[in-house]
Amino acid sequence: MIEFILATGNAHKAEEFSELFDSKIITIKAAPKKLEVVEDGLSYFENARLKAEAYYKEFRIPVLADDSGLNVEALPNELGIHSARFGGVDLSDVERAQLLLNKMDGMTNRSAYFTCVICVYINEAEIFYFEGRMSGSVGYNYLGAGGFGYDPVFIPLDGEGDLTVSELTEWKKENSHRAMASRLAQKFFSQRS
Q: How many domains does the chain have?
A: 1
Cβ count near 38 (within 10 Å): 9
Give the pLDDT of residue 16: 75
d(CA 21, CA 134): 18
Contact 100, 153 (CB under 8 A): yes
Global model pTM greater than 0.85? yes
Which of 154, 33, 167 lies closest to 83 in space, CA to CA?
154
Residue 14 has pLDDT above 80, yes or no: no
Report DSSP state, residue 153: G
Q: Are strands 111-123 and 126-138 parallel, antiparallel or unpaired?
A: antiparallel
Q: Is 78 left (phi over 0), alpha (psi -120 to 50) or beta?
A: alpha
Report DSSP state, residue 79: S
105-152 pLDDT, tens digit per residue, is 999 999 999 999 999 999 999 999 999 999 999 999 999 988 889 999
Contact 46, 23 (CB under 8 A): no
Give the pLDDT of residue 10: 65
Report DSSP state, residue 164: -
Catalytic residue among 22, 40, 66, 67: 67
3-state secondary structure of 189: helix
Distance, first Cα to last Cα, the chain: 11
Give the pLDDT of residue 11: 62
Contact 138, 156 (CB under 8 A): no
Residue 165 has pLDDT above 60, yes or no: yes
Which range of residues forms the domain containing residue 98? 2-191
d(CA 7, CA 9): 7
- Asked about 67 being catalytic, the answer comes back as yes
d(CA 69, CA 90): 17
CATH number where 22 lies: 3.90.950.10
